[in-house]
Amino acid sequence: MPSSSLGSRPTSSSDGESPRVERNSLLSPDFTALLIAQASFGFAFSSFFLLPKFVNSQLGAGAFEIGLLTAVYGAVVIVFVPAMGALVDRHGRRNFLTAGALLMAAASFCFVYVEDMGPLLYALRGVQAVAFAMAFAAGAALAVDLAPPARMSQAIGVFGLTFLSMNAIAPAAVEEISKRADWPTAFAASATGAVLCALLSRRIPDSRPARGPSSEIANLWTVATRPRLLRMMAIIALVGTAMGAAFIYHQPYAAELGIENLKSFFIAYAAVAVFIRGAMGALADRVGLHRVSIGALALYVVVVTAMSALQPGWLPAYGAGLGLAHGFGYPALNAIAIRGVRENERGKVMSLFQAAFNVGFAGVSLALGWLAEREGYPPVFLVGGLSALFALVLLAGSPEGRPVGASSPREARS
């Protein structure tokens, strides 16, 4: 949508300053500062995409143990992300971003002491999950607060670039550092990104939604049980299952096939997703969130299902296809979920959406690990592809899968 069609609107400040005017430009100084801080956090977060390789090659973990470790992380995220969303809506954003970054730094550094698949490993992943919940809830709410209303999908997509760009850089860096030095050095390096985020976060103006009467502020349960959001959470949870199958289990499957270098998958995935969200980020807002979402879900089905026939040399192609689907799909679906939501409910909705994604991504991983040990890895990707197909059918048959204005007033309020 042309920038000339975007209006300006005042927003409140939590520190007593005069209301700031939100301008048409998406990349304002405040939004840019947020992106840099989140990219630093994303380096620490994305470094642990190679954790399945570490526990498989260094600690002798099998598919079920990898799934259990992922499930523990996901369970903590699922519990804490919605809670943090409610807290940042009530108490402001910046302090949660700082605290989450510091917690991530501490937990990442402590991985240098991990020597087996014992309690320390699981405890540290749990701490990292809490850290992610804090940083994500605060950062996502800030991104939406700072975005012009008509560019919401683009803002969510650009915010996601801070993580997506690191999806390539961090795993590639960790893989090289682990080869040239060792894994403890790689983990210590990842912690520096979180420290940098904590420092940079203090330069971001805080944001706290204006409070109205208590009767107008919906609690977390009320927001989570709205039919419209329930449908969108179910859809993104199914997408998370497809992504979890692709992201987690291509690593041990590749090792089984004798493929040692995995960075080409992450680089191709991130490069395509970054291009989509950077150069084509406004497309969904222009042509319709429903059209882009349905197309992206169809691509998830094709790519994840095709990974059941993984062969040496094909990792970059699968990564690129997944980057194309996720680059368009996640921000468009997220924008549908948050469309029409009050300012003092944004943190809750963004966090519930992310929690639902983790239900699929990590929560189902334990069952997929069990399936891999019993039947091999190809069925894991078939289940992932089928999950994306269910998401496509659910969206296409729901009011959210139709153009704006095509649903009845009753559907629009649900």
Residue 11: φ, ψ to 5°: -130, 160
User: What pLDDT, in 10s, does the model give residues 244-298?
Assistant: 999 889 988 998 888 877 888 988 988 898 888 777 766 766 777 888 999 999 9
Q: Report the distance separating Cα 161 and Cα 167, nearest Å.
A: 9
Please count the other Cβ atoms lying within 10 Å of the Cβ belonging to residue 7.
10
DSSP-assigned beta bridge partners for residue 90: none
Six-digit token string for 315: 């990792």
Radius of gyration in angstroms for the set of CA atoms belonging to the chain, rounded to a whole number: 20
Helix boundaries (H) for 181-260: 183-201, 220-224, 227-256
* d(C-alpha 41, C-alpha 195), whole Å: 8
Q: Can you tell me the distance from the alpha carbon of 368 to that of 377, in angstroms, rounded to the nearest whole number? A: 9
With a cut of 90, say whether residue 366 has pLDDT above it. Answer: no
Q: Give the pLDDT confidence of 30-82 residue by residue, as tens digits.
A: 888 888 999 999 999 999 988 998 999 899 988 889 888 988 888 888 888 88
The two tokens of residue 254 are 């590749």
What proportions of the chain, in percent to the nearest 5, are helix, strand and coil?
Answer: 80, 0, 20
Give the Cα separation of 338 and 357 in Å (integer): 15
Lowest-pLDDT range, 56-60, 97-101, 164-168? 164-168
Determine the average pLDDT of the residues in 356-369.
Answer: 83
317 close to 264: Cβ distance less than 8 angstroms: no
Q: Which of 175, 191, 156, 125 is CA-nearest to residue 358?
A: 125
- The answer to whether 254 and 310 are in contact (CB under 8 A) is yes
Say how far apart CA 364 and CA 231 lie, in whole Å: 18
Sequence-distant (≥ 6) Cβ neighbours of residue 39 within 8 angstroms: 162, 163, 165, 166
* CA separation, residue 391 to residues 237, 352, 387 (Å): 8, 17, 6
Q: Is 204:36 a contact under the CB 8 Å cutoff?
A: no
**Can you give the pTM of this predicted structure?**
0.71
Query: What pLDDT score does 47 carry?
Result: 92
Residue 364 has pLDDT above 90, yes or no: no
Q: Are 355 and 78 in contact (CB under 8 A)?
A: yes
State whether residue 20 is helix, strand or coil. Answer: strand
The amino acid at residue 374 is R
By DSSP bridging, strand 20-22 and strand 9-11 are antiparallel
With cut-offs at 50, 70 and 90, classify the pLDDT of residue 197: very high
**CA–CA gap between residue 144 and residue 37 (Å, rounded):** 16
167 CB-side CA count, 13 A: 23
* Alpha-carbon distances, residue 265 vs 98, 171, 301, 312, 317 (angstroms): 31, 10, 18, 11, 8
Give me the residue label for tokens 């700031």: 20
Find the mean pLDDT for residues 94-117. Answer: 93
Contact by Cβ (8 Å): 143, 156: yes
Say how far apart CA 287 and CA 283 lie, in whole Å: 6
User: Which H or E element spans position 11?
Assistant: strand 9-11
**CA pair distance 284, 162, nearest whole angstrom:** 19
